[in-house]
Amino acid sequence: MVMTTMLRVTESQPISLEDVRRLVPGRFRDMVKGVVDLKRRLLVLDADMHADQEALLLADGSQQRDLWGINLYPQLDGPDWIEFDSMINLRPSFGNRSRSVDDPATQEAIVSLVAELVRR
């Protein structure tokens, strides 16, 4: 796991949409992987796998039930710029039975947090 290049984004250290766009060529052609911690209100960006970001946050004190994997497509506008698709989201024991985020309220919380942390 390469954790040194991951970018931690918080309310006190937000990221601009332009900076997210700069991350795109680094790993993938059109998106940046991220994991949000809804309870601690933070986002980790830029890793090969959501599991690497999840491991970093768990080691830092996050609880798995609060972590959700997303993909950001900074070239898109509107709700399509956030995709809820990650293997870490597959958690039947927490009521999530897909790679997506099944609960609409959790999706809304993720969208709201990302809107606060990524400055457009």
Tell me the domain boundaries of the chain: 7-119
Using 50 as the pLDDT threshold, list the residues of the chain that sit under it.
1-4
What is the structure's pLDDT at 1?
A: 38
Greatest alpha-carbon pair distance for the chain in Å reads 37
What is the structure's pLDDT at 3?
A: 41
What is the structure's pLDDT at 37?
A: 98
Q: What tokens does 91 get?
A: 């958690």
> For residue 10, what are the contacts with CB-CB under 8 A and spacing of at least 6?
41, 42, 43, 117
What is the structure's pLDDT at 106?
A: 97
Q: Is the pTM of this model over 0.85?
A: yes
What are the residue ranges of helices labelled H in the chain? 17-27, 50-59, 104-117
What is the structure's pLDDT at 54?
A: 97
The residues pairing with 70 across neighbouring beta strands, listed in sequence order, are: 34
